[in-house]
Structure 1
Amino acid sequence: MSLDPQMQGLLNAFGALKLPPYEELTAETFRALAEAKRVTRGQGESLAQVSDRVISGKGSDVTVRIYRPHTDRVLPALVYFHGGGFVLGDLDSHDNLCRALSNRLDALVVSVDYRRAPEDRFPAAFDDAWTAVQWVAEQAAALSIDPSRLLVGGDSAGGNLAANVCIKARDCGGPAIAHQLLFYPVCDNDLSRTSYREVGSGYFLETDMMRWFWGQYLTAPQDADKPYCCPLKTDDLSNLPPATLVVGGYDPLKDEGLAYIERLRVAGVVVHSLVYPGAIHGFMSYIGMLQLSDQALDETIDSLQTVLARD
């Protein structure tokens, strides 16, 4: 299928980042360039309350942003991890998506400002993700949430963290996670897959960029084989929470996302896969701007209604 015309228009609006050679690229430079190219998305949807909070973590405090919709009921909760290759992204970059998820799911959303590479390499981001999920579960009463309806989610690198949190929660016997929501997750560091060759240049996320991201995230290549780094390297994927997994056709991560869907299903995990052949990586950040992004959000919400059945 051809690239969605609105996606092409977005790519044209981005223009070239004009990055220096990757061997000369620093995280500071990349962050500044990415921020300069960030497309304005407005103020986002209104909510009853949006507040930042600092919680104690392993080796570092962790800032979270809590989104509460307009309701006094006990709510389900979604702990959300932003994308950005473990290097880019922050609470503000995904504010619009978290607001929409909170309103549309009628759920408390807790967005996590985890430590980023290369200042803090693996497993720092994962440790912060794990800290946040444990904290939300422990604070269920104070947060007025239903601990039996605790979800984790994320996009790209954040999807990697969400998937790995589910694996560790299973390994540790809790906290209980009802569902995992994975938007085009980073599942492996194998860049030889077909999608990296076919759409690894010219469609926003690029193969060389992913190679650079992995170089920033890992202290050594063999770290990718350690637990809670690459979900696809996990031998046993059984007894994990049901998943909703979104994949874009013009995304270099497409093949690893499809491979993870298959591995989960073979392991007996219920997976609702949503594949958008005309979409690029990161397209869920453009809800309200792109029709395909809005469609994907609608279908994602529909897939979660049973999990988040309202009282």
Structure 2
Amino acid sequence: MTSSSANEPHPDVQEFLELYESLDTPEFSEITPREARRNFEAMRVTDEPDIELESVEDHTIDGPHGDLAVRSYDPGTEGEDRPLIVYFHGGGWVVGSIDTHDGVCRKLADDTGYPVVSVDYGLAPEHPFPEGLQDCYAALEWVAGETDDLNADPDRIVVGGDSAGGGLAAGLSLLARDRGGPNIAYQLLIYPSVGDAPATEAYEENKEGYFLTEDDMEWFRDHYFETEIDMRNIYAFPLFANDLSDLPPATIITAGFDPLRDVGAMYADRLEDAGVPVEYHNYDDMIHGFFSMISDPIDLDRAHEAHEAARADMEATLE
């Protein structure tokens, strides 16, 4: 897949980067995970949602490491056999929550007409690899058993996520295939963390100055992985897997000015080579995180374009 960046970021992105720089937010490496979570929540959580849906409900389910919170979004569309999206938020496995990605999940539900279930998987370092992935698997099993109550089709379950959440969705698809677990019909992987990003050209080109930095990524990895061996695990980074056949069709979205750009493109190539249908979209003037920039104060037209592309891809396969 063609993976490249524009000559410079989109003017709206440059405006965001200038605003972000002016906030003088501490680097992740300068603070504790708990402080980082508070800062991330303060930046991302709004009091009033932009999109109202038929229903939004919080649930507590049994997870492998205790209670696990999930949030279901129902857009109110008709039918008892709708596709359903299980969504895993980004945040480097260390920050982020169902609250920080509430707007993204509302928009996915509203745009597609599918119910969405967002998963508050355990964060590192309290829950290092593979605990977050185990939580995601438990949530997938719960969703598969609750499709009647969710008015969804058990044969049309989509797993999706952004950044670390995209990596979790990809790893979950691989794990469900290998375990003979619940059927996954589609993967929505948004600038996913699926491989050894530091070994790529995109990492070298974009490791400073474009929101997600080299120091950030090292900080995330150091908290999530307890050993070097874990960092070679195929369920942590599916790009290391020898066999990617028989995985669900996928949409992969990347950004030109993102250190994760090339691993996303490489994963699209690997899936295609394995006979998996793939739709790949590279937004060459965007940065990491842009898919969530869909409301004031940062509302990007290109982010809405990416949502529309994801909707169209899923609809073409699932309906």
Residue pairs, 1:266-285, within 5 angstroms = 266-285=273-292
Q: Tell me if structure 2 keeps the 8 A contact 1:44–1:95.
A: no
The residue type equivalent to 2:287 in the other structure is: I
Tell me which residue corresponds to 2:13: 7
Q: Distance in 2 between matches of 1:111 and 1:254?
A: 24
Tell me which residue corresponds to 2:301: 291
Equivalent position SS for 1:141: coil
Tell me which residue corresponds to 1:166: 173
**Per-residue CA shift, 1:126-146, capped at 9, x if unaligned?**
001000111111111222211
The residue type equivalent to 2:148 in the other structure is: A
CA-based RMSD of the aligned residues comes to 1.6
Q: Distance in 2 between matches of 1:172 and 1:184?
A: 26
Q: Which deviates the most, 67-76 or 129-138? A: 67-76
Shift of the 41–269 alpha-carbon distance from structure 1 to 2, 3 Å rule, reads farther
User: Which 4+ residue blocks in structure 1 deviate beyond 3 angstroms?
Assistant: 35-42
Q: Tell me if structure 1 keeps the 8 A contact 2:45–2:100.
A: no
Q: Tell me if structure 1 keeps the 8 A contact 2:51–2:103.
A: yes
Q: Does residue 1:27 correspond to 2:27, yes or no? A: no
Q: Distance in 1 between matches of 2:46 and 2:149?
A: 35
The residue type equivalent to 2:236 in the other structure is: C
Unmatched segments (≥5 aa) in structure 2: 1-5
The residue type equivalent to 1:301 in the other structure is: R
When the two structures are superposed, what TM-score results if normalisation uses the length of structure 1? 0.94
Shift of the 263–10 alpha-carbon distance from structure 1 to 2, 3 Å rule, reads same
The residue type equivalent to 1:25 in the other structure is: I
Q: Distance in 2 between matches of 1:227 and 1:264?
A: 14
Residue pairs, 1:44-193, within 5 angstroms = 44-74=50-80, 75-193=82-200
Unmatched segments (≥5 aa) in structure 1: none
Q: Distance in 2 between matches of 1:66 and 1:253?
A: 29
Aligned length: 308
Shift of the 298–190 alpha-carbon distance from structure 1 to 2, 3 Å rule, reads closer
Tell me which residue corresponds to 2:230: 223
The residue type equivalent to 1:188 in the other structure is: G
Q: Distance in 1 between matches of 2:200 and 2:187?
A: 24
Shift of the 250–121 alpha-carbon distance from structure 1 to 2, 3 Å rule, reads same
**Matched-pair identity in %:** 42
Residue pairs, 1:196-207, within 5 angstroms = 196-207=203-214
Equivalent position SS for 2:184: coil
The offset of 1:44, in angstroms, is 2.4
Q: Tell me if structure 2 keeps the 8 A contact 1:17–1:34.
A: no
